[in-house]
Amino acid sequence: MQTKTQSYKNQHIGSLRNSRIAKTRKFILSNTKSSLLNNTKWLKIFEELEKNKNVFWLKNLLTENVQKCQFIRELEITSVLIDESGDFIEFLEIESLILQESSEMEDFLIRHNVPFLIQNSMIEINGYTF
């Protein structure tokens, strides 16, 4: 059974997440040309990363933060948890994902029609065009 404090904390976290999503949607509408990936493709990418235990870096659309992920803590249909903060990252918040180049990942991305770039032995998957 949840205490009042736990219930309030969960409501507060949900409110912050919804606020962050609203800000991201507004930014996308006014600053990007188009979305390159939908939730289904992001989910497949993260499932593949999880399966292969790939280390990767995520760049958030609204901040300059680049977060390194050693392993995925939890994966949902529209979001991923990559650290102990408890803050899920919505797929729509991802500006780019970068990981070490590998033929397996390249083959996967080609098979799933996911656009990507290779630079300096790194694969970069962008969420948007600007």
| pLDDT by position in tens, the chain (length 130) | 555 444 444 555 567 778 888 888 888 778 866 777 899 999 999 999 999 999 999 999 988 889 999 999 999 999 999 999 999 999 999 999 999 999 999 999 999 999 999 999 999 999 988 7
Q: Which domain holds residue 103?
A: 4-129
Our measurement of the distance from residue 54's CA atom to the centroid of its chain's CA atoms, rounded to an integer in Å, reads 14
CATH number at 84 reads: 2.30.30.100
DSSP conformational letter for 90? E
What is the pairing mode between strands 66-69 and 74-75?
Answer: unpaired
Answer whether 62's CB lies under 8 Å from 104's CB. Answer: no
Q: What's the predicted TM-score (pTM) here?
A: 0.79
The number of domains in the chain is 1
What SS3 class is residue 93?
A: helix
Any residues with CB less than 8 A from the CB of 98 and at least 6 apart, and which? 56, 57, 59, 122, 123, 124, 125
